């Protein structure tokens, strides 16, 4: 009976001895680090908004207008949770990948709504969240670290 080698999947590579593709593992690790960074940025944005109402622009006639301190609390809580999920991804927790996608999507939406208050910070956070979603959802990142 002839033995045939399994076809390498997207996260496997024969060039690396059939092991986990370093690009796939690197993308997941980078997504975890980016979630940690996004969490720290969220905490800083939150503390800034809570500490002083003059830190962020005051927007008039905006549909999603909240008090600046309310935005501060939203960013603070979201930042703490994002940092925890990022840490979970780096530790290899199975729950953290799915939770990371969901929370990065929520963070992306929150930052899009928050865009008029601080466009530069919001765009940076949106870009980070978009990459995290991509890295955690790609077929090549199905590998376990």
Question: What is the DSSP code string of 8-29?
Answer: P-TTB-GGGTTSB-HHHHHHHH
How many structural domains compose the chain?
A: 1
User: Is 4 within a domain?
Assistant: no
pLDDT attached to residue 35: 93
| pTM: predicted TM-score of the whole model, two decimal places | 0.72
E-strand ranges in 1-145 read: none
Which residues form the domain of 87? 37-141
Model confidence pLDDT, tens digit, residues 58-89: 667 766 677 778 888 998 999 999 999 999 99
| Contact residues for 43 (Cβ-Cβ < 8 A; gap 6+) | 75, 76, 79, 80, 83
User: Is 100 within a domain?
Assistant: yes
Model confidence pLDDT, tens digit, residues 92-139: 888 999 999 999 999 999 989 888 888 888 899 899 899 999 888 875
Q: For residue 109, how many other CB atoms are within 10 A of its CB?
A: 12
User: Is 124 within a domain?
Assistant: yes
Taking the C-alpha atoms of residue 48 and residue 5, their distance in angstroms, rounded to an integer, is 57
Model confidence pLDDT, tens digit, residues 16-48: 445 555 655 678 888 999 999 999 988 998 898
pLDDT attached to residue 89: 92
pLDDT-above-90 percentage for the chain: 34
User: Is 54 within a domain?
Assistant: yes
User: Is 46 within a domain?
Assistant: yes
CA 75 to chain centre: 14
User: Is 130 within a domain?
Assistant: yes
Q: For residue 18, how many other CB atoms are within 10 A of its CB?
A: 11
Taking the C-alpha atoms of residue 35 and residue 12, their distance in angstroms, rounded to an integer, is 25
**What CA–CA distances, in Å, run from 141 to 9, 62, 72, 138?**
11, 39, 33, 5
């Amino acid at each position: 009976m002839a033995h045939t080698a399994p076809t390498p999947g997207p996260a496997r590579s024969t060039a690396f001895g059939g092991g986990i593709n370093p690009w796939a593992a690197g993308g997941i690790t980078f997504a975890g680090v980016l979630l940690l960074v996004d969490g720290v940025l969220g905490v800083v944005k939150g503390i800034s908004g809570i500490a002083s109402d003059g830190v962020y622009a005051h927007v008039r006639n905006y549909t999603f207008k909240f008090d600046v301190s309310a935005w501060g609390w939203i960013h603070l809580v979201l930042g703490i949770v994002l940092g925890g999920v990022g840490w979970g991804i780096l530790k290899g927790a199975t729950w953290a990948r799915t939770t990371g996608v969901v929370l990065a999507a929520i963070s992306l939406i929150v930052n899009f709504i928050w865009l008029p208050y601080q466009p530069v910070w919001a765009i940076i956070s949106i870009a980070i969240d978009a990459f995290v979603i991509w890295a955690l959802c790609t077929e090549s990142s199905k590998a376990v670290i």
